[in-house]
Amino acid sequence: MDDLTTAGFQTLSDLESAARAKLTDPIWAYVQGGSGNESTVRDNVDAFRQWHLRPRPLAGIDAVDLRTSVLGETVSSPVYVCPMAYQALLHPEGEAATARAAAAAGQLAVYSTLSSRSLEEIAAAAPQGRRWFQLYLQPEFSASEQLIRRAERSGYSALVLTVDAPVLGPRDRQTHDGVAIRSPVPIGNGPGVVPPARAPAFQDGRYAFPPDACVDWTVLERLSRVTSLPLVVKGVLTAEDAAKAGDLGARAIVLSNHGGRQLDGAMTGLDALPEVVRAVGARTEVYVDGGVRRGRDVLVALALGAKAVGLGRPVLWALAAGGEAGVHRLLDVLNAEVAVSMMLAGRRTVAEIDRSLVVRRPA
């Protein structure tokens, strides 16, 4: 616990500054970097600025309830921790610190296949926490299956399949300053677990990708056969794919461009939200991540139809700034911002955050 250091953090921006001061240049490049020249990273943040709130005061609110459910599980807030690899780069306790903080806050956290700690260690660090397991498909399906089994045994309650990273996007900053992306720190889930392949090989006139990068929609069926965990598809950005995911049994989708780290120039999850919710909102839960920095951003996403909102880089900042206490402080600060914003907006519950709360910012 680093209470003294984190006590002063009032905003996510404070945490960012504190993290910058603590981290080496290569690790900072890894955390902040995105694909290409990072315009997609910036687009994620800007997308939220394009909406204004239409508050409804005098709503007679004595208390605000942030609780909601994701796939039927009650959580204390619609904000969850996105799966992020290699958290030991930020703090020696890595995902264990994140897990303890999220569990203490009653919030969902999703853990990456590429966690620095094993999924069992993460579960043991916070047995009561709500946790989902994020899967990067492994070269052998049996290896993926083994990870799923372990996740089932360790109390992970949903399987989040990331589909936007069959290979890694080009990241200028990392290329120039960065840590080597392939296992910069050991992968907690074992030496057999591998990250997405870095680059294609040019042969016979084509760019051939490692065989495990070749995945199609049938994978959803294959996964359904080996686990009864509800399936979440992460990295979809179109109504077409959202519908297809639902048709193939996905219970939820995450609109995401992977924090701007994968396809350079991809649209933002937030911009995709209206079209996707219109298409599948009635039957599939829709989450969104990327660019969330303030309580108001959470309200915007919920008003546009998101069921939950993922928090990415800020968690890494918080880890670096103060380990478990840092993440705890982060969640506290953000939830309080959400709560105060809801109060001022006249929304008592998450369910009351409807489309009429937002209006496009005039051009």
Judged by CB under 8 A, the chain residues 202 through 231 that form the site for its own copies are 202, 205-209, 211, 213-219
Helical axes 218-226 vs 141-153, angle rounded to 10°: 50
Piece of 91-99, 123-131, 306-314, 330-338 that binds its own copies (CB under 8 A)? 330-338
Q: How far is the CB of 320 from its own copies (least distance, A)?
A: 20
Q: How far is the CB of 256 from its own copies (least distance, A)?
A: 11
C-alpha torsion 247→252→255→256, nearest 10? -110
Nearest-angstrom CA–CA distance, 95 and 98: 5
Nearest-angstrom CA–CA distance, 254 and 108: 14
341 near its own copies, rule: CB under 8 A:
yes
CA angle at 351 for the pair 348 and 354, rounded to the nearest 5°: 95
Looking at residue 27, its amino acid is I
Q: How far is the CB of 85 from its own copies (least distance, A)?
A: 18
Close Cβ partners of 303 (under 8 Å, ≥ 6 residues apart): 51, 53, 353, 354, 355, 356, 357, 358
Tokens of 140: 């052998």
Looking at residue 169, its amino acid is G
How far out from the chain centre does Cα 217 lie?
A: 21
Q: How far is the CB of 9 from its own copies (least distance, A)?
A: 10
**Residues 67/95, Cβ–Cβ less than 8 Å:** no
Nearest-angstrom CA–CA distance, 349 and 343: 9
Nearest-angstrom CA–CA distance, 267 and 264: 9
Tokens of 331: 């969640």
| Unique residue bearing structure tokens 């990250």 | 195
Which CB, 92 or 351, lies closer to its own copies?
351
- Contact letters for its own copies, residues 1-40 (x by CB under 8 A): ---------xx-x----------------------xx-x-
Given candidates 50, 157, 183, 224, which one binds its own copies under the rule CB under 8 A?
A: 50
Given candidates 33, 166, 195, 260, which one binds its own copies under the rule CB under 8 A?
A: 166
Per residue in 196-211, is it b (16+ CB within 10 Å) or e — as a string? bbeeeeeeeeeeeebe
Given candidates 60, 128, 228, 282, which one binds its own copies under the rule CB under 8 A?
A: 60
Q: Residues in contact with its own copies, total (CB under 8 A)? A: 89
Given candidates 65, 145, 152, 352, which one binds its own copies under the rule CB under 8 A?
A: 65
Piece of 18-26, 182-190, 224-232, 355-363 that binds its own copies (CB under 8 A)? 355-363
104 near its own copies, rule: CB under 8 A:
no
Given candidates 51, 80, 132, 136, which one binds its own copies under the rule CB under 8 A?
A: 51
Of residues 230-289, those binding its own copies (CB under 8 A): 235-238, 240-241, 262-268, 271-272
Q: How far is the CB of 140 from its own copies (least distance, A)?
A: 16
Which CB, 40 or 118, lies closer to its own copies?
40
Which CB, 88 or 311, lies closer to its own copies?
311
258 catalytic per annotation: yes
Looking at residue 98, its amino acid is T
76 near its own copies, rule: CB under 8 A:
yes
Tokens of 14: 């404070």
Which of 249, 248, 304, 308 lies closest to 276, judged by CA? 304
Nearest-angstrom CA–CA distance, 287 and 108: 12
The DSSP output letter for 359 is E
Which CB, 170 or 190, lies closer to its own copies?
170
Of residues 287-326, those binding its own copies (CB under 8 A): 294-296, 299-300
Q: How far is the CB of 139 from its own copies (least distance, A)?
A: 13
Piece of 63-71, 88-96, 224-232, 279-287 that binds its own copies (CB under 8 A)? 63-71
Given candidates 2, 26, 38, 106, which one binds its own copies under the rule CB under 8 A?
A: 106
Given candidates 22, 45, 53, 155, which one binds its own copies under the rule CB under 8 A?
A: 53
**Residues 57/82, Cβ–Cβ less than 8 Å:** no
140 near its own copies, rule: CB under 8 A:
no
**Could you list the active site residues?**
258
